[in-house]
Structure 1
């Protein structure tokens, strides 16, 4: 059976800037940072670090209080982003005459309902409660987000969650893509959401010594991928969703198509839990190109994983140089985590949206705060200021996770 083309007909997110998709992409292209300063009232030691939050997000308003109360914050972000993507795709939220038995959800989250469990610990240990809410299990389960989506949209096909650290939503998107391409699913809702500011989670990341320092004044520029003076990553919360749809189904209903997803490749370094290896990333990129039927010369932009860590950034650039060879010097590369932060399991989803919008708008957002390039990261065309009216044909989005899990997605522009 021939493989089907896969259209991207819906995009949705909960933006840290508080606006819609257009506002989000405009601010990225302007190099505007969403990184703020998180200071909690925890005793005896508060959390104090650069962080990306979504202060304008009110789940009770967006989802309604009864529904919001049944969900951990990560699932609230996920469902809100899914509603936006579903509406953007112009699909009715409730099933009509068309059967949705093969429509499904593939969602990514690294942490799942960590906030619900931490609340439980606080209730038991700090407040002396003997019992927890009977909703704690359903609030905390990692498949909470996709379960709510399947219910809300009447999706009778697969409903699954993927937890693969920072590659979680890349793998969710890739697996959703494969199901539509094979004909197993007509429509797949996919993406990711995470909320990493649980006290124990934030402290655990801090203990790894990969977090960028900062205060209320310096936090906006704390994340500096590829920079000689980079100090580490900045965590963030949020959710991002995409609707993937069989191309013929999309065109038959007159859907607007943002772009086309054409390839997906995943590998494992199988060498170290936290230290990346270029070989595994190289194989993932090459597998993605082969899966997409693209040559390296067809790629005009790469949204890099670019976490601003000492080891991660040079390894990713080395992988790109190995794959693209002599052309690497003219390959446009940017790391938008410099502005929207690292959303862990949701990072690949928000970066997939950035990549699709870049192709649609023919504009490349920059790596912010990249004033002095680390010589170890040289060899590609680092985008330090937005480039508009670019002839962008196809692009890659890289996601490289702890555990050595690598996932790369390939997208192609659609001529409207």
Structure 2
């Protein structure tokens, strides 16, 4: 391993979430770890459908954020509240007092993917409103909500406004790899001396009531015998399992705080780990085509590892399979291309069946889960994987117990239809 400690290293010092939970949102790192470590799944709803919902009480939001008047909270969409609550939890975890200006010069960055539902729910009422009969108050409310929700940068703008940030602030979208790519951008900004702190949030929102129609259209469109992606509504997703048939969607947000080593040491911050490298690639193939060979992810992993570590030094891989057979085939092909003969004993797990396929937050969730595995010396199992599929060339750690293990170096992968792939190399707190 080639690793030197420098003042501009990117350290992860805080985590916060607004994800599905048993009786309320999963918010803190402790609650997140308790779910991930045992392969819990929060997807089954009371009506028997499977979807990762995040119920929010506006009163609770107002209590947590008294700076935002209640009349404004009512106009924020769920995705705004996901992002705000995850940010507040991450700051509390990192012991950063944003109310006192701790994020004044920070980069406030957001990753988004599924924009359609969040935008449609606020844009359509404006288009359908009868301007001849609507009251001035109703018109102002519709327009206010539209301004907040009808742009991709809504979460990042809302977060930056709350904390009074004056540093870099933007939104990035490249599918399910969005927050992973953004973590790499943040680490490079820190390395270049542009900022000392960056908060990175992945947030997405899907309307549950629309998913059944989407699933029916998908089923209608399938032909041939090639592995297909599929939306599941009435069955649970099972990554790496022989019964893998598709994915369950989930809502929510995940925020990570990154700091330069010099800044973290000055304030004696607790450190989860270090982002050693991140690489983004794309295959030269048609849009929406599946890269079943995983060649883009292989190139991303090799590039990220170059000069940092050899494949033999990686102790654990956080995968990106959703429960689709297609992605199981992809990962079972790409792992041997990276790790060679040791693939059969390499632990590769994924947490998507805990919270659902949430889109943009997935990169941040994978990094958070991996760093907590390093911290606790425990490899979390692949949730809902009970009988590993014959196609798996690696160890998906089935069941609910996981196993103890020392993890010094790890690789976290994310990719999306359209062949954008990200690979992040992670080191422990004292690497």
Same fold (TM over 0.5): yes
What CA distance in whole angstroms lies between the structure 1 residues aligned with 2:241 and 2:388? Answer: 5
- Displacement of 1:10 in angstroms is 0.8
- Displacement of 1:408 in angstroms is 1.6
- Displacement of 1:266 in angstroms is 0.7
What CA distance in whole angstroms lies between the structure 2 residues aligned with 1:60 and 1:198? Answer: 25
**Residue of structure 2 in register with 1:324 after alignment:** 339
Is 1:238 matched with 2:252? Answer: yes
Is 1:256 matched with 2:275? Answer: no
**Residue of structure 1 in register with 2:87 after alignment:** 82
Match of residue 418, structure 2, among 383, 403, 409: 403
Q: 1:323-377, CA deviations, whole angstroms, 9 ceiling, x for partnerless residues?
A: 0011212211112112221001112222221111111111111112323222222
- Displacement of 1:137 in angstroms is 2.3
- Displacement of 1:27 in angstroms is 2.1
Match of residue 301, structure 2, among 278, 281, 285: 285
Q: Which stretch has the larger CA shift, 367-376 or 7-16?
A: 367-376
What CA distance in whole angstroms lies between the structure 2 residues aligned with 1:265 and 1:331? Answer: 21
* Structure 2, gaps ≥5 residues long: 1-5, 220-228
What CA distance in whole angstroms lies between the structure 1 residues aligned with 2:423 and 2:15? Answer: 19
Match of residue 36, structure 1, among 31, 37, 44: 44
Q: 1:34-63, CA deviations, whole angstroms, 9 ceiling, x for partnerless residues?
A: 112386xxxxxxxx9421112355444444
**Residue of structure 1 in register with 2:52 after alignment:** 52
Is 1:22 matched with 2:30? Answer: yes
What CA distance in whole angstroms lies between the structure 2 residues aligned with 1:194 and 1:207? Answer: 22
- Displacement of 1:396 in angstroms is 1.6
Superposition pairs for residues 165-176 of structure 1, below 5 Å? 165-176=175-186
**For the structure 1 residues 230 and 212, does the alpha-carbon distance in structure 2 shift closer, same or farther, using more than 3 Å as the test?**
farther
What CA distance in whole angstroms lies between the structure 2 residues aligned with 1:251 and 1:191? Answer: 23
* Structure 1, gaps ≥5 residues long: 40-47
Q: TM-score, normalised by structure 1?
A: 0.88
How many residues matched?
Answer: 397
**Residue of structure 2 in register with 1:117 after alignment:** 120
What CA distance in whole angstroms lies between the structure 1 residues aligned with 2:103 and 2:39? Answer: 44
What CA distance in whole angstroms lies between the structure 1 residues aligned with 2:395 and 2:165? Answer: 43
Verify the 8 A CA contact 1:6 1:262 in the aligned structure 2. yes
Is 1:155 matched with 2:171? Answer: no
Verify the 8 A CA contact 1:223 1:339 in the aligned structure 2. no
Q: 1:244-266, CA deviations, whole angstroms, 9 ceiling, x for partnerless residues?
A: 00011101111111111111011
Q: TM-score, normalised by structure 2?
A: 0.85
